[in-house]
Amino acid sequence: MFEIDARGMACPLPVIKTKKALKENESVKTVVDNDIATQNLKKLAEQLGLNYTREELSATHFVVIISKDGAEIEIQETPEVENLVSEKIGYTVAIDTAVMGRGSDELGANLMKAFVYSLLEQDELPETIIFYNGGVKLAVEGSDVLDDLKQMEEQGVTIYACGACLNFYGLTEQLAIGEVTNMYRIVEMMSSAIKVVKP
Angle, alpha carbons 53-55-56 (nearest 5°)? 150
Range among 1-15, 33-47, 123-137, 179-193 rated most confident: 123-137
Q: Residue 36 — pLDDT band, cuts 50, 70, 90?
A: confident
**Cα separation, 12 vs 41, whole angstroms:** 10
Domain 2-67 matches domain 80-197 at the CATH topology level: no
Query: In the chain, where are the structural domains located?
Result: 2-67, 80-197
Q: How do residues 37-72 score in pLDDT, each as one tens digit?
A: 898 899 899 888 999 999 999 999 999 999 987 544
pLDDT in the model for residue 119: 92
Looking at the predicted structure, is the pLDDT value of residue 89 above 60?
Answer: no
Level-2 CATH architecture, domain 2-67: 2-Layer Sandwich (3.30)
Mean pLDDT of 112-116: 95
- Give residue 70's pLDDT: 55
pLDDT digits (tens, 9 = 90+) for 151-168: 999 999 999 999 999 999
Determine the pLDDT at residue 144: 95
pLDDT score at 75:
47
Q: Is the pLDDT of residue 12 over 90?
A: no
Kindly indicate whether the domain formed by 80-197 is annotated with CATH number 3.20.130.10.
no
Q: What is the pLDDT of residue 74?
A: 52
